[in-house]
Structure 1
Amino acid sequence: MGIACTFERAEDGMPEIVVGAGRIRLVQGDIVQAKTDAIVNAANASLAGGGGVDGAIHRAAGPELYELTRPFGGCATGSAVITGAGRIPLPTRFIVHAVGPRYSTARDAECAALLRSAHEVSLRLCEEKAVESVAFPAISTGVYGFPIARAAPIALQAAMEHLKAGERSVKRVVFVLFTPADLQVFSEALASLGQG
């Protein structure tokens, strides 16, 4: 069953889709500069920081981010935890640390379910903190090897279904993609889902 939505282009030409009272927007850039209430970190299970998006967020948030994540003692794959934003400037107040799966073709269905779960749990945590806007990276598509063309519709569908559910604090979901090629893949997936 499709999700009723309207595919548009924002004033700056970036792809956007309206889902009920919410919007999903795609941009290319640095997630630390997203200017949303929360940003999602593509975290590892130890929550201790790493490379890619995880490293960039930890550097921007400062050493206090380690102190904020340490009490959790880690996070299971397919889940997430939420902390304060450390030194990342307002309006960002929270960082959601989502742990996506390491991709394996032999475990494709399991990996897809875990990736979807990481997005769903992240959105639920945002609801608990009355977050109105959240920015996601392309979770698991870097060193974890999840093919971006497979990951994009999973991530977008999770966001669309969350927004479609109705009375939610989250009204704006932004996917911040690192490269023009990543943006193109997500744009094509968004257009395809918008037609469903």
Structure 2
Amino acid sequence: MQINLVEGDITTQDVDAVVNAANSRMRGGGGVDGAIHRAGGPAVLEDCRKRFPDGLATGDAGWTTAGEMPARWVIHVVGPNYRAGQTDRSLLTSCYSRALEVADELGARTVAFPLVSAGIYGWPLDDAVDAAVTTLRDARTQVEEARIVAFGRDTADAIRARLSQFHQGM
């Protein structure tokens, strides 16, 4: 699987699926979650209500329509809230693994990922980047391209540096 970095807006990515860093209620929120719900329109929230009446557990993933976005699907993952004491790294890496499993079930070949839990949930940036890159690199999946979409220069620089280390080690 090819892992690429894009600096910009995840909601505009022309991929099979975009990954949403959702909260466990699955009803929209701030950050990436709010942006995806706004860009996708009411169909995303309607599908969340229908498919996830009780929400999702931390570390798990599920899909909905992407509504009005260029992508076909949204794969929602619930990242751990570091600021609230959810510091188990396996919950964070599970978000990426489970998203890829759902992508495989859907037949998605291109998937755009945000940096899960690194925003309002406060996961330390360097570890969030390492968790994403390492989990994606080691995954057994039918996905051909994992695109990590960075919102902001500092995040993009951290991802670029980690991907550079990854490519040098190949």
Name the TM-score, length of structure 2 as normaliser.
Answer: 0.93
Aligned-partner Cα distance in 1 for 2:7–2:128: 17
Q: Is it true that 1:129 corresponds to 2:110 in the alignment?
A: no
1:26 matched to 2:5:
yes
The alignment's C-alpha RMSD in Å is 1.5
* Counterpart in the other structure of 1:39: 18
1:169 matched to 2:150? The reply is no
1:153 is matched with 130
- After TM superposition, the score normalised by the length of structure 1 is 0.81
Q: Does 1:183 align with 2:156?
A: yes
- Match in the other structure for 2:39: 60
In the TM superposition, residue 106 of structure 1 has moved relative to its aligned partner by 6.6
Instruction: Could you tell me which runs of 5 or more consecutive residues in structure 2 were left unpaired when the two chains were aligned.
Output: none
Q: What is aligned with 1:120?
A: 97
1:194 is aligned to 2:128? no
Which is higher, the Rg of structure 1 or of structure 2? 1
Identical counterparts, % of pairs: 40
Give the deviation of 1:107 after TM superposition. Answer: 5.6
Runs of 4+, deviation exceeding 6 Å: none
Q: Give the secondary-structure state (helix, strand or coil) at the position aligned to 2:82.
A: coil
**Do residues 99 (structure 1) and 82 (structure 2) align?**
no
Specify the alignment match of 2:115 in structure 1.
138
The residue type equivalent to 2:113 in the other structure is F
User: What SS does the aligned partner of 1:116 have?
Assistant: helix
Whole-Å Cα distance in 2 between the matches of residues 129 and 55 of structure 1?
24
